[in-house]
């Protein structure tokens, strides 16, 4: 009797163990991936590192897997991921293919970062035309969101793209430019990886230049005038960035700006052209840390930062060096919390009224805002999903929040209200961030959204290229 019970117990146990192990190995065969937002962990079938376009093409011809495409994964709303899909990791596909110094043009593989390009072109006195403030992103990821940065002479990135090759779901490769397959040009740029894999990209370059920094402090309601009179109308001002205070004492009131003015003696450029590498980040990291947790920290950070930047007045810096500002101090490892970005665009003339409304809203709401930077993007509606419907100021908000469902809900509520305020001032918002905005808000900010999604299904009828952004808003 006892033996029988034992045999039974062991049998049941054995079965349970086998079952558990099967499920476990099934689960393990999937890979858990996440983007920098860390709010959307996703189980993908496989992460496939791309190094060679022919190999990728062969694989595409023979597979029916769903595909998502990833660069540095600094997008924050799952734009690079899809459950059960094969995620193409483009980071290893990063060669500089050709640099044409005369035509000022460079061709690179899409996994190359701006940093790779800067290293390649700086020795020849050349520079990128449009990119983010930092150089850590891939060219493919930047094209797919149509980025913008501190430069004020060009529009958004699409302006500076000459052509690219696109690998379609059926494994064919086509050239895309303003003259060849031109319908795809404004769809793929700002297309969030939904039309195919961008292989190599030809970009127009600018001359590297020596700039003199000019700093100014002002109230938010003087900013438009300042920008109009001293920046936009002056052809020798090439780049610009400003900050709007989030410190309780000066909340959404005080600002300071840095303009990058073409220096009168360009022969000095060579003296300054050595690319700066990692800066000392201990202090900024600590101050940002303090500002996460207290009003006192926020006030101190604002004042120190302002004084520090104001003192840079008159300093000289090359274009390439301006375009590689450090973001390492922003890296944030907290297990429970994350730091997310939001970016709102408002037409130039509505800026002061917009900031007033935003302040009124935020004084009522609870949101741990750590930073707001303000840049400028010129009117540019080339891409189907364009955010710059006018000459716009772009406000980037850095938000510290928890990772739990409740925290996400809480931020969602505030973000949607902020976007309502933005839309009320004829503004729009940026798409690479977390999927807080509602479907209606997306369609209001991007009137051509439906056209975009229909084109996606036209060019990719089987919907092989997928991501969580498309899943959330695409249908």
Ligand X SMILES: Cc1cc2nc3c(=O)[nH]c(=O)nc-3n(C[C@H](O)[C@H](O)[C@H](O)COP(=O)(O)OP(=O)(O)OC[C@H]3O[C@@H](n4cnc5c(N)ncnc54)[C@H](O)[C@@H]3O)c2cc1C
CB atoms within 10 A of CB 17: 10
Return all residues near 225 (Cβ < 8 A) that are at least 6 apart: none
Least Å from the CB of residue 264 to ligand X: 28
SS3 293: helix
Closest CA relative to residue 114, chosen from 327, 374, 329: 327
The residue among 269 and 418 lying less far from ligand X, judged by its C-beta, is 418
The residue among 4 and 405 lying less far from other proteins, judged by its C-beta, is 405
- Partner in contact with 432, chosen from ligand X, other proteins, none, beta carbon below 5 to 8 Å by kind: ligand X
Confirm or reject binding of residue 154 to ligand X (CB under 6 A): no
- Partner in contact with 16, chosen from other proteins, ligand X, none, beta carbon below 5 to 8 Å by kind: other proteins
The four Cα atoms 287, 130, 453, 346 give a dihedral, to 10 degrees, of: 60
Is residue 212 packed enough to be buried (19+ CB in 10 Å), middle (13-18) or exposed (0-12)? middle
Confirm or reject binding of residue 432 to ligand X (CB under 6 A): yes
- Partner in contact with 90, chosen from ligand X, other proteins, none, beta carbon below 5 to 8 Å by kind: ligand X
Confirm or reject binding of residue 407 to other proteins (CB under 8 A): yes
Secondary structure E strands in 168-323: 173-177, 197-207, 210-219, 237-244, 254-262, 316-318
Is residue 427 packed enough to be buried (19+ CB in 10 Å), middle (13-18) or exposed (0-12)? buried
| Binding letters toward ligand X, positions 17-46, x by CB under 6 A | -------------------x----------
Confirm or reject binding of residue 371 to ligand X (CB under 6 A): no
Q: Which of 9, 97, 174, 328 binds other proteins (CB under 8 A)?
A: 9
Confirm or reject binding of residue 336 to other proteins (CB under 8 A): yes
Confirm or reject binding of residue 353 to other proteins (CB under 8 A): no
The residue among 148 and 214 lying less far from ligand X, judged by its C-beta, is 148
Distance CA 17, CA 14 (A): 5
Confirm or reject binding of residue 137 to ligand X (CB under 6 A): yes
CA-to-CA dists, residue 146 to 59, 79, 342, 447, angstroms:
28, 14, 16, 17
Q: Which of 341, 346, 370, 388 binds ligand X (CB under 6 A)?
A: 341
Distance CA 205, CA 320 (A): 11
Confirm or reject binding of residue 334 to other proteins (CB under 8 A): no
Q: Which of 69, 244, 322, 355 binds ligand X (CB under 6 A)?
A: 69
Two structure tokens written together for 466: 């997928």
Least Å from the CB of residue 92 to ligand X: 12
**DSSP code at position 349:** G
Cβ contact 242:257 at 8 Å: yes
Confirm or reject binding of residue 179 to other proteins (CB under 8 A): no
Residues that bind other proteins (CB under 8 A): 6, 9-10, 13, 16-17, 19-21, 23-24, 27-28, 335-336, 402-405, 407
Residues that bind ligand X (CB under 6 A): 36, 69-75, 79-80, 90, 110, 132-134, 137-138, 140-142, 144-145, 147-149, 192-193, 197-198, 327, 330, 341, 432, 467
């Amino acid at each position: 009797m006892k033996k029988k019970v034992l045999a039974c117990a062991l049998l049941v146990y054995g079965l349970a163990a086998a079952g558990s192990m099967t499920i476990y190995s099934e689960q393990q065969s999937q890979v858990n991936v996440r983007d920098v937002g860390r709010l959307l962990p996703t189980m993908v079938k496989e992460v496939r590192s791309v190094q060679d376009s022919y190999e990728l093409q062969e694989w595409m011809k023979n597979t029916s897997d769903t595909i998502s495409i990833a660069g540095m994964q600094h997008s924050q709303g799952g734009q690079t991921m899809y459950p059960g899909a094969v995620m193409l990791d483009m980071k290893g596909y990063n060669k500089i293919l050709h640099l044409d110094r005369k035509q000022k043009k460079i061709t690179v593989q899409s996994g190359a970062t701006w940093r790779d390009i800067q290293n390649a072109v700086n020795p020849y006195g050349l520079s990128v035309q449009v990119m983010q403030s930092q150089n850590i992103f891939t060219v493919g990821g930047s094209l797919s969101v149509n980025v913008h940065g501190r430069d004020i002479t060009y529009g958004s990135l699409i302006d500076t793209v000459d052509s690219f090759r696109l690998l379609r779901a059926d494994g064919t490769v086509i050239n895309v430019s303003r003259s060849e397959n031109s319908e795809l040009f404004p769809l793929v740029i700002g297309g969030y990886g939904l039309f195919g894999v961008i292989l190599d990209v030809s970009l127009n370059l600018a001359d590297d230049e020596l700039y003199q920094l000019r700093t100014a402090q002002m109230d938010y309601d003087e900013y438009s005038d300042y920008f109009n009179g001293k920046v936009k109308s002056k052809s020798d001002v090439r780049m610009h960035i400003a900050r709007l205070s989030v410190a309780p004492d000066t909340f959404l009131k005080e600002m300071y700006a840095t303009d990058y003015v073409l220096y009168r003696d360009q022969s000095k450029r060579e003296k300054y052209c050595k690319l700066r590498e990692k800066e000392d980040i201990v202090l900024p990291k600590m101050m940002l840390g303090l500002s996460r947790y207290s009003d006192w920290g926020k006030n101190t950070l604002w004042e120190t930062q302002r004084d520090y930047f104001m003192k840079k007045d008159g300093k000289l810096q090359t274009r390439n060096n301006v375009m590689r500002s450090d973001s390492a101090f922003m890296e944030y490892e907290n297990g429970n919390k994350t730091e997310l970005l939001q970016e709102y665009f408002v037409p130039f003339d509505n800026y002061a009224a917009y900031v007033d409304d935003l302040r009124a809203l935020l004084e009522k709401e609870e949101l741990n805002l750590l930073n707001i930077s303000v840049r400028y993007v010129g009117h540019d509606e080339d891409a189907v999903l364009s955010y710059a419907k006018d000459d716009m100021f772009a406000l980037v908000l850095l938000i510290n929040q928890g990772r739990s469902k409740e925290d996400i809900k809480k931020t969602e509520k505030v973000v949607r209200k902020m976007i309502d305020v933005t839309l009320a001032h004829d503004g729009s918002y940026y798409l690479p961030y977390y999927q807080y905005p509602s479907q209606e808000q997306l369609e209001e900010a991007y009137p051509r959204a439906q056209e975009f999604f229909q084109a996606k299904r036209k060019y990719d009828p089987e919907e092989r290229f997928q991501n969580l952004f498309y899943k959330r808003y695409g249908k």
